[in-house]
């Protein structure tokens, strides 16, 4: 059976705390995108809006935690940089392993 037909083969276990935190950020932000799409079609759904606001707050907290522990996730607009300029300290997005196996 191909790994693409077997959902269990695609599960990912983070190898360290940094990757675990990044995985939690990605999961949370996926929920935000999903809720945003839902709210685009159901703008009067108060339960979805409450969930969206809750996940938004969690997203802010998780990204702030990552920033404090490991440096910035994005190069502008979301968090201040400490001296020296930190954006160049992390690998570039295309240098990271995003848990995909080819």
List, for residues 65-102, the tens digit of each pLDDT value: 998 888 878 766 666 656 656 666 666 656 666 555 54
- 47 located within any domain: yes
Inside any domain, residue 83: yes
Domain presence at residue 4: no
Give 34: exposed, middle or buried? Use CB within 10 Å, 0-12, 13-18, 19+: middle
CB 64, CB 79: distance < 8 Å: yes
Count of structural domains within the chain: 1
Task: Tell the residue number behind the tokens 């983070």, with chain if given.
Answer: 14
| Eight-state DSSP code of residue 91 | P
Q: Is residue 62 a part of any domain in this protein? A: yes
Tell me if the pTM is above 0.75: no
The pLDDT, as a whole number, for residue 102 is 42
Note down the domain range covering 31.
Answer: 14-95
């Amino acid at each position: 059976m191909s790994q693409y037909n077997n959902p269990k083969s695609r599960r990912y276990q983070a190898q360290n705390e940094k990757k675990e935190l990044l995985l939690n950020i990605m999961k949370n932000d996926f929920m935000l995108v999903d809720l945003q799409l839902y709210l685009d079609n159901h703008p009067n759904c108060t339960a979805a809006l409450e969930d969206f606001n809750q996940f938004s707050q969690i997203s802010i907290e998780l990204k702030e935690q990552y920033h404090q522990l490991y440096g910035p996730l994005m190069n502008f607009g979301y968090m201040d940089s400490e001296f020296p300029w930190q954006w160049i300290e992390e690998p570039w997005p295309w240098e990271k392993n995003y848990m995909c196996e080819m």
